[in-house]
Amino acid sequence: MKNSSKVNLGLIFILSTFLMAFGLPQDQKKGSPWEIPEKYMKMGNPYKDDAGLTKVGKMLFSKHCKSCHGSKGLGDGTKAAQLDTFPGDFTIDAFQKNSDGDLFYKSFIGRDEMPNFEKKITDDEDKWAIINYVRTL
C-alpha cells in the first residue's frame, strides 16, 4: 500500500507539473474594441448563401487561421497561448452578431497581433469563403 501511494503521489506531481508548464492558458487580456471604418460597416457579403464556398472557407481557415483561432474557432489554436491578447471565440453570440463587413475588416485588415492578410489572401471570393465558414461555427 505504501508503495502504491508513493507512485500515485509521484504521478499526480508529474501530471500537475506538466499541466502547469504546457496545459494552462496564460493570462491573456481581452482586446480593446475595434474601430471599424464606415466603408466596412456597410459592406455586404456577395457570396452569403454559397454553400460550396463555405467548404472552400473551411480549407482556407484551416490553412491560415486555425493556428491561433483553433479548429473550431474557440481561440485555442496551437499559437494562441503565445499571444498577449485572447484571439476570440467565434462561436459566441457576441462574435456572430458582427456584420459581415466587420468580420471582413477584422479578418483581413487586422490590427495588433491580428496580422493583415491582404497580401496572403488576395482573392475576395476566398476572403468571403472564410467569413462564410466562420459563420457556421
Number of domains in the chain: 1
Query: What range does the domain containing 81 cover?
Result: 27-134
> Has residue 102 been placed in a domain?
yes
Predicted TM-score (pTM) of this structure: 0.77
> Has residue 55 been placed in a domain?
yes
> Has residue 17 been placed in a domain?
no
Quickly count: other Cβ atoms within 10 Å of residue 30's Cβ. 8
For 17-54, write each residue's pLDDT tens digit: 443 444 434 466 777 889 999 999 999 999 998 889 99
pLDDT band at 15 (very low <50, low <70, confident <90, very high): very low
Average pLDDT, the chain: 85
> Has residue 100 been placed in a domain?
yes
> Has residue 20 been placed in a domain?
no
Cα–Cα distances in Å, from 89 out to 4, 32, 77? 42, 15, 11
What CATH number does residue 129 fall under?
1.10.760.10
